[in-house]
Structure 1
Amino acid sequence: MSRRNLLRGGAAASIAAAAVATDAGAARAQDASPYADPAEPVLPASDVVLGRDDTALVVVDPLIDFLSPKGVAWGVVGESVTEQKTVENIGRLFRASKKADLVVAVSPHYYYPTDHGWKFSGPLEKLMHAIGMFDRAGPLNLAGFEGSGADFMPEYKDMILDGKTIVTSPHKVYGPETNDLDLQLRKRGVNKVVLAGMSANLCVQAHLYNLLERGYEVAVVRDATAAAKIPEGDGYHAALVNFRYVANALWTTDEAVRRIEAL
């Protein structure tokens, strides 16, 4: 065989090997979830030990506008909500916490007609106001509330309206700085929070940061939240990175329910 043929054969073999390697790499990349935890994390592990008397489940915005195909945000959050099974998982957390007799609090997001008179806002605030997200007739007016985008998901209403669940005053942008969540939790001796709800990189993340700054231990339930996927980015992925950096614990719903049931 000539040297030229040998070179040609070697090149062909190299190309074939490269193609196989590329196909295998592509298959691995396809199999791996973009949300998978790092195989070799650098940050030290941390955890939260729950107690029946010092722990609360806090669910942010379990509202139709976020979690139902009928909601105005479904077009951008629906894929993520479906992937994470967020509606089902929030329900599991509610049921487990009620059975364990934990403190349960809901931090809703409402806009009243006067809120539409704000002089400035960020990009997402502008969008929410424009599409009427979380709109209510007024702070003392429930006209049109039932079944609206601002209403609670029907799967949870019996648990939220049981006379025991704390429904805080509304938060207005993302975090709980403008509502009474901290007061309600402190008055009940709570210093540990299991955090879930919508949406991951906005209100849930803002609640996480605020609660941490106020001295709470916070475990975020990673598949009991979700976020928008838009050209600007995947909000769920962005939040997951930050949850790994700062949350005292990051659990699945299975893990959170197991720990709550063990109390």
Structure 2
Amino acid sequence: VTDPQNDFLSPEGVTWGVVGQSITENRTVENIGDLFEVAEETGMPVFISPHYYFEHDHKWQFEGTLETLMHAIGMFDRPSALDLEGFEGSGADWLEEYKPYIENGKTVVTSPHKVYGPDSNDLVLQLRKAGIDKVILAGMSSNLCTESHMRSLIEAGFEVMVVTDATAGAITEHYNGYDASLTNFRMIASKVDNTENTVKAIRAAYKK
């Protein structure tokens, strides 16, 4: 699950103005919650790839368009990799209703990715060390971090399914990030499906 954090998924988050419509229409928050719930129920391993920016990240000498924006609005900001001061309830924190699933002592929280994909964190290492070669992908934001994770994982040899209504994207007067991502999910991923069918498939796969 990519970026299950307040700055994306909470109405108080800094991006809600552009992602809120897509999240609401897809029922993204509820659907990610359903995936967490069935994973807890069945014992399916869960991996979180979060997005954090520390103070030293704001000293980068060049940035892409949305990196510049994310830094300017303080998105996912934390004071330090070694300090949780101000983390609780911040935009970088987990959505409150997900905390029982993420902080259960079993879920793997990787080091943060810094742009969009997992190339700069240890997600692939953690998956390989756990003997996993199939990934069910959900989270935010559809055409950015979620799509980038899909592409990188596929290039690394994983079989990747994307849960299409457990993600969402920015919608502005100029573009619809969610619609753009659906095209690429359908063309690149091994499979795409909705949350309801995915939950049923997970239960069936783990049924003894």
Whether TM-score is above 0.5 comes out as: yes
The 3-state SS of whatever aligns with 2:31 is helix
Answer 1 or 2: which has greater strand percent. Answer: 1
Cα distance in structure 1, aligned partners of 2:84 and 2:172? 33
1:136-175 aligned within 5 A: 136-175=78-117
Using the aligned pairs only, state the percent identity. Answer: 59
Residue identity opposite 1:187 in structure 2:
K
Q: Is 2:61 aligned against 1:119?
A: yes
Equivalent residue number for residue 149 of structure 2: 207
Q: Is 2:188 aligned against 1:188?
A: no
Q: 1:93 aligns with which of 35, 43, 46?
A: 35
Alpha-carbon distance, 1:251 to partner: 0.7
Q: How many residues align?
A: 205
The 3-state SS of whatever aligns with 2:160 is strand
Cα distance in structure 2, aligned partners of 1:213 and 1:229? 28
Alpha-carbon distance, 1:98 to partner: 1.3
Alpha-carbon distance, 1:232 to partner: 3.2
Residue identity opposite 1:209 in structure 2:
R
Alpha-carbon distance, 1:75 to partner: 0.5
Cα distance in structure 1, aligned partners of 2:133 and 2:102? 21
The 3-state SS of whatever aligns with 1:194 is strand
Q: Is 2:71 aligned against 1:71?
A: no
Equivalent residue number for residue 230 of structure 1: 172
The ranges of structure 1 where at least 4 consecutive aligned residues each deviate by more than 6 angstroms after the TM superposition are none
The 3-state SS of whatever aligns with 1:152 is coil
Equivalent residue number for residue 128 of structure 1: 70
Cα distance in structure 2, aligned partners of 1:193 and 1:100? 16
The 3-state SS of whatever aligns with 1:205 is helix
1:43-62 aligned within 5 A: 59-62=1-4
Cα distance in structure 2, aligned partners of 1:232 and 1:203? 20
Equivalent residue number for residue 202 of structure 2: 260
CA RMSD of aligned residues (A): 0.5
Cα distance in structure 2, aligned partners of 1:137 and 1:99? 35
TM-score, scaled relative to structure 1 = 0.77
Cα distance in structure 2, aligned partners of 1:128 and 1:138? 17
5+ residue gaps, structure 1, are: 1-58
Q: Deviations over 1:68-101 (max 9, x none)?
A: 0010000000000000000000000001011111
Cα distance in structure 2, aligned partners of 1:156 and 1:111? 21
Larger Rg: 1
Cα distance in structure 2, aligned partners of 1:133 and 1:204? 17
Alpha-carbon distance, 1:231 to partner: 3.0
Cα distance in structure 1, aligned partners of 2:90 and 2:34? 23
Alpha-carbon distance, 1:230 to partner: 1.5
Cα distance in structure 2, aligned partners of 1:231 and 1:110? 28
Equivalent residue number for residue 33 of structure 1: none
